[in-house]
Amino acid sequence: MKRLPSWFLFMIAVAIFSAAPKVYAQSEFITRHMPYDAFDKLPATIVKVEGGTLLVAFAPGTLTLPNTSFISWIAKSARAVSIYYGRFPVPSARILLVPVEGKGVSGGKAFGYKGAAVRLLIGRDSTETDLVEDWQAVHEMIHLALPEVGDQHLWLSEGLAVYVESIARVQAGDLTEAKIWGEFVRDMPQGLPEAADKGLDHTPSWGRTYWGGALFCLLADVEFRKRTANSKGVQEATRGVLASGGNMERDWPIEQVFYIADNAAGVPVLMELYEKMRASPAPTDLGALWRDLGISVRDGVVTFDDEAPLSGIRRAITQAPGAAKSSLTSSGTTELNGRGEAPAQH
Ligand SMILES: [Zn+2]
């Protein structure tokens, strides 16, 4: 048989290559921005949660655990977020899981500009325990519940994610009250103003952004509850933002977020606290706050005092909406052990 001309074979090769779908390399999934186009070429698993649908897809790479373990972890994380907000913050979100070296979740980021999305870097040697202990999936999903308020107010976005992540996981039954209060007592001092502090809007240090923002949320929660006979808090206020169409897919001025959130709770706590803390250090006496809330930590052991003046507020903060009060009245002691590194991601 006569041999085919080489140019003809070349044309066939070009035609086959062109017809094949583009295959994205692993590196194309860890670019600075969310790789929406690459994500949409991946096979995705649909996970239904209260008020939302998640599309979960894996970037190329190998994992020791089966994919189903990671899907379950995403579903459990989304459940905690849905319990806090009453529903998942957005009707639909892409969840991209990228296998990387190591074990545990080594990074995460939330995106909103072309549709709500979360990307998580998952160590290929991750174990079930790593997934149980992970906080980053919940943290990133909470970012989806706040409109983009601009880089100057990153402390609000990160502070809410740090604060609500802890509260939501207690309300979901995934963490104990002693665990998160013990960590707040240990870590919240990192959010206090240092010398030359210019307030939350003008001091973009790591401590002021993550823990200064979380302290702002805790102070707001306590103040809301003081002024509403312990009936409204940050939970009701942030649900009001979602109910008004606010989420990460929107750009809102921070004043609009606070105005709507305050209205939902019925008292202008966020706006007043923002005026106080935006451009001046506004130091907080954390020792007095923990004492009034009835929390003490000695040698890593957390003890609650239910006779403390704000102990009812402390219990209400972690009480799941609709839960019977009796099931959450807890006192006594719990061992506090380390819960990994403080958040360092968006
Ligand atoms: Zn974050």
**pLDDT tens string 51-92:** 999 999 999 999 999 999 999 999 999 999 999 999 999 999
Average pLDDT value for residue range 295-313: 97
What is the pLDDT, as a whole number, of residue 26? 84
Q: Are residues 179 and 124 in the same domain?
A: no
Q: Which residues are placed with Cβ below 5 angstroms of ligand 1, an ion?
A: 158, 161, 346
Q: b or e along 215-234 (b: 16 or more beta carbons within 10 Å of the residue's beta carbon)? A: bbbbbbbbbbbeeeebebbb
DSSP state of 228: T
The sheet with strand 105-111 has its strands ordered as: 44-49, 52-58, 92-100, 117-123, 105-111
Asked if residue 189 and residue 331 are part of one domain, the reply reads: yes
Same domain, 172 and 99: no
Q: Is 135 part of a structural domain of the chain? A: yes
Q: Judge if 168 and 108 occupy the same domain.
A: no
Instruction: Please tell me the distance between residue 3's alpha carbon and the centre of ligand 1 in angstroms.
Output: 62
Task: Find tokens 């000695």 and name the residue.
Answer: 298
Residues 228 and 306 in one domain: yes
Separation of CA 160 and ligand 1 centre (Å): 9
Residues spanned by the domain of 164 = 151-335
Q: How far is ligand 1, taken at its centre, from the CA of residue 332, in Å?
A: 32
Q: What is the mean pLDDT of residues 253-277?
A: 98
Q: How far is the CA of 155 from the centre of ligand 1 (A)?
A: 9
Q: Distance from the CA of 79 to the center of ligand 1, in angstroms?
A: 18
Residue range 250-266: mean pLDDT, rounded: 98
Q: What are phi and psi of 88, to 5 degrees?
A: -65, 140
H or E element that contains 330: none
Q: Which of 113, 143, 173 is the last residue of a domain?
A: 143
Same domain, 99 and 201: no
Using CA atoms of 102, 104, 110, 114 in order, give the dihedral in degrees to the nearest 10.
60
Number of domains in the chain: 2
Q: How confident is the model at residue 7 (pLDDT cuts 50, 70, 90)?
A: low
From the CA atom positions of the chain, what is the Rg in Å?
Answer: 23
Distance CA 70, CA 122 (A): 9
Residue pLDDT, tens place only, 267-276: 999 999 999 9
Whether residues 284 and 322 share a domain: the answer is: yes
In-domain check, residue 11: no
Residue 343 lies in a domain: no
Same domain? For 97 and 227 the reply is: no
The bridge status of strand 117-123 relative to strand 44-49 is: unpaired
186 and 331 both lie in a single domain: yes
147 CA → ligand 1 middle, Å: 13
142 CA → ligand 1 middle, Å: 8
pLDDT at residue 193, rounded to an integer: 98
pLDDT, tens digit (0-9, with 9 covering 90-100), for 170-225: 999 999 999 999 999 999 999 999 999 999 999 999 999 999 999 999 999 999 99
- 321 pLDDT band, cuts 50/70/90, is confident
